[in-house]
Structure 1
Amino acid sequence: MPRWLLAASLLLYVATPLLAMASEDRASVGGDITVQENETAGDIACVFCSVHVHGDVKGDVAVVLGSLTVDSDHSIKGDVAVVGGDLNMSDGSEVGGDVAVVAGSANLAPDAMIHGSRSILPGRAWLLVPFAPLLFLIGIIWLIVYLVRRQRYAYAQYPGVRRY
């Protein structure tokens, strides 16, 4: 039995890159992703870049600090998440799942369709929310260092000033 398990795991290990190459998923950091006309993509993940959909997307789309633009009469079958950017949907475009836009805006054409729920938190101040605990911790550390240094070093005594 262990030989079959070893052979199956070896086969799975060898086939994993082939399965990943066969999928139509796309990911990028810093470089824009474009789904061309008459092209279909799987899941899309983009950080510090923008996604332009001129074709169709079968999966989900996640964009961090970038924008998502969907052309007219094209669709995204899954969910959409945009953090720190804008969602632009033209007439006839549609999203099959939920849409979440945090620290950005959703510019939806009148005929754009979202089949799931919408969560839109406009304003760039939402980008600071994940860093709030870190800023609080930095403030406490600064206060401790300030109090310790104030007690450690005595202030210089200056002689009295004579006035003539």
Structure 2
Amino acid sequence: MFRLKRSEPVPVDLPSLPVPPPSTHTVTNVPIEERHTERAHVTPTREPYEAERREAELVHRYRRALDLDGQVVSRLRVVPAGESAPIYSDLWNETTGELVEAKGTVTRDALRMAVGQLLDYGRFVDSKRYAVLVPTRPRDDLLAFLAAAGVTAIYSDGARCTRAEP
């Protein structure tokens, strides 16, 4: 058995707990997330599988296209009032005021999630347009859903990006 004894007093000057979350929201532009790997090995239930970072690849390809067009892009770091954890957008086109959320699939669930995320981030910035960046053209019913929500679909059409405006 060990018994620890303090050798001398340790001065500690820490803030009182709990640290209160901010009373107003903050928004800052931050660089787009760097992609250092395309795949990650995940072991959620002891059965490993490979998860591709499709969204990051989509964002980086689209970013390169916007850079070539001379547009300024970043992401938004938003800390909502009353919360301490930030939320991040996938892409913020500073030139056009377009807020973009990327999804690695074109399922109904993914697109519904994207619309909700865009509406959440959009409350904190003067966004002129919303767009969802996806790997392929969504089916007609999902394009109609995005159009009803006022959201543009951006998808790969060979070597270029195609926009399905609402």
Give TM-score scaled by structure 2 length. 0.24
- Relative to its length, the structure with more helix (as a share) is 1
Q: Which has the larger radius of gyration?
A: 1
Give TM-score scaled by structure 1 length. 0.25
Choose between structure 1 and 2 for higher RCO, CA contacts under 8 A separated by at least 6 residues: 2
